[in-house]
Structure 1
Amino acid sequence: MALHNGPRKKTRYKFKKDLRKRGVLPITTVIQEFDMGQKVHIVCEPSIQKGMPHARFHGKTGSVVGRRGRAWLVEIYDGNKMKTIISRPQHLKAQQY
């Protein structure tokens, strides 16, 4: 069988939604705004593939550093290295204090 290395490889359970959370997303997740320096969680929304960060960043927390079109730039630490993730707002959640 062929070796498949797509962007959603090995994410069958990681991107699975709860039974009662399936269906159309609220519009507020699409139009949410963030401030520069605000902490956000990267939680991939599996029903929307566009603007989804890589699966290895699912569950990480970073800070917003800018905007690129409709997407947000989020800086996170991956090991000892600082990385910048480009993600749409559907895949980000503001950190609650």
Structure 2
Amino acid sequence: MVKHSKGYRTRTRKLLTKNVRERGAVPRLSLLMEEFKEGDYVVIKINPSVHKGMPHRRYHGKVGVIQGKRGKAYIVRVTLGDKEKVIIVRPEHLAKFNGIKNG
């Protein structure tokens, strides 16, 4: 038997697809220029049309805290199970978190 490949985007067929009307569209300029401050809560929302600064699929939909900035990207602290991970994500893949976060 042949082993299937285990690349960075494996098992993302539904996760990293856009609607028909959104395909090929580049992110809005306001989305790219959005500024986050240290301590802000953000949701990691992967934009499949932008490959630069894209986090791994396991972080999609997770809520994290901005720790700082590195170039154009942000350093985000995310809780994954019982571990805390620090990932570097560009603003195209981040959205402000509007829910209530205790802690």
Which category describes the TM-score, using the shorter chain as reference length?
A: over 0.9
Deviations 1:22-59 (A, max 9, x none): 31221111111101110000010000111000000001
Identity, % of aligned positions: 40
**CA–CA distance in structure 1, aligned partners of residues 26 and 41 of structure 2:** 26
Q: Which residue of 2 aligns with 1:56?
A: 58
TM-score normalised by the chain length of structure 1: 0.92
Q: Which residue of 1 aligns with 2:7?
A: 6
Cα offset for 1:5? 1.4
The answer to whether 1:95 aligns with 2:97 is yes
Q: Where do 5+ consecutive residues of structure 1 fail to align? A: none
**CA–CA distance in structure 2, aligned partners of residues 57 and 4 of structure 1:** 21
Using the TM superposition, name which of 1-10 and 55-64 deviates more: 1-10
Cα offset for 1:3? 2.8
**Partner secondary structure for residue 29 of structure 1:** helix
**CA–CA distance in structure 2, aligned partners of residues 19 and 73 of structure 1:** 32
Task: State the 4+ residue runs in structure 1 displaced beyond 4 angstroms.
Answer: none
What is the aligned length? Answer: 97
Q: Which residue of 2 aligns with 1:17?
A: 18
Superposition map of 1:49-88 within 5 A = 49-88=51-90
**Partner secondary structure for residue 47 of structure 1:** coil
Cα offset for 1:70? 0.8
Alignment partner for residue 49 of structure 2, among 43, 47, 50?
A: 47
**CA–CA distance in structure 1, aligned partners of residues 22 and 29 of structure 2:** 14
| One-letter amino acid matched to 1:40 | V
- When Rg is computed on C-alpha atoms for both structures, the one with the higher figure is 2
